[in-house]
Amino acid sequence: MASLCSFWWTSIISFNFWWTYTCYANDNSVFGSINNSTRQSTWNVKIYVYHILSWIVPAIIIFTALSKGVLGADNSDGTGPWCWISANLSVREQTIWMAVSGKGWEILMYFSCFGFYMLLKFRQMWERSRQKKMQEQFGSTSPLIPRTRCNQQPPDYKLSFIFLWIVEIVLRISGTVRFIMTALRRHACISPPFYEHVDVILMHFQSFGDCAQAFCSFLIFCVFRRLFRYINNRNGNTNLSHEAS
């Protein structure tokens, strides 16, 4: 259940980064800003929704798996660290429940993080293009939006988001590759001659990565948070000085 909650929280944090930046950009737009009471009420609703999705949904999945008796000891044949699915199930059922109770949500997390990251970058590009057109249209002496305010960004969102995505992929991609290789071997009869050798190597990386995810996230977002904030603020000030010159 811890892994499921981690996948949900990672996707939700990615969504929250994108949402925060979008709302921040809207507050700095010509269309006005959202009042504090509306922003606070929206934030309170989001917090409740985040917790419901990140705790209740994984709990429902796990209790459903328990009620159907799919959790149990595995024979470790082609699965290695994936020991939560019972070997008494058929091969098809094992693959389905491996996806439903873990790997499927992990792959969905990869795509969701990538999607929100691209949305954020496209929004950045659109904001910069809009600001440039407005400055050309109205002139530098009477900009519609103050220059210093336009270039402000929510603190920590750049580095935090990038490291969040990189940590998840680097630490867990080996297990995802093993899952896809195993599924292809079981159901599509695709088994390259080097499968066993590669599977053993990936299994060792997976055994380390799955256990190190929480620790690496703790280092990045807790221990070294001030360092990332300093680097982010320094880069932001450098960009402002270049644009001002």
Average confidence (pLDDT) over 152-163:
56
DSSP string, 18-59: HHHHHHHHHHTSTT----HHHHHHHHHHHHHHHHIIIIIHHH
Question: Regarding predicted confidence, which is higher, 159 or 212?
Answer: 212
Q: Highest mean pLDDT: which of 7-11, 38-42, 144-148?
A: 7-11
Average confidence (pLDDT) over 68-83:
64
Above 80 in pLDDT, residue 106?
yes
Residue spans of alpha helices (H) in 147-194: 147-150, 157-187
pLDDT value for 240: 43
pLDDT value for 235: 55
- The tally of domains found in the chain comes to 1
Average confidence (pLDDT) over 206-215:
78
72 Rama class: left (phi>0) / alpha (psi -120 to 50) / beta: left
Question: Regarding predicted confidence, which is higher, 239 or 24?
Answer: 24
Above 70 in pLDDT, residue 29?
no
Token pair of 193, please? 């001659």
Spatial distance between the Cα atoms of 101 and 103, rounded to a whole number of angstroms: 7
The 10s digit of each residue's pLDDT in 193-203 is 788 888 888 88
What average pLDDT does the structure give for the chain? 74
Q: Across the chain, which distance is largest between two alpha carbons, in Å?
A: 75
Q: pLDDT category, 66, cuts 50, 70, 90? A: confident
112: containing domain: 2-244
The 10s digit of each residue's pLDDT in 117-136 is 888 888 888 878 887 887 77
Spatial distance between the Cα atoms of 225 and 75, rounded to a whole number of angstroms: 42
Question: Regarding predicted confidence, which is higher, 58 or 21?
Answer: 58
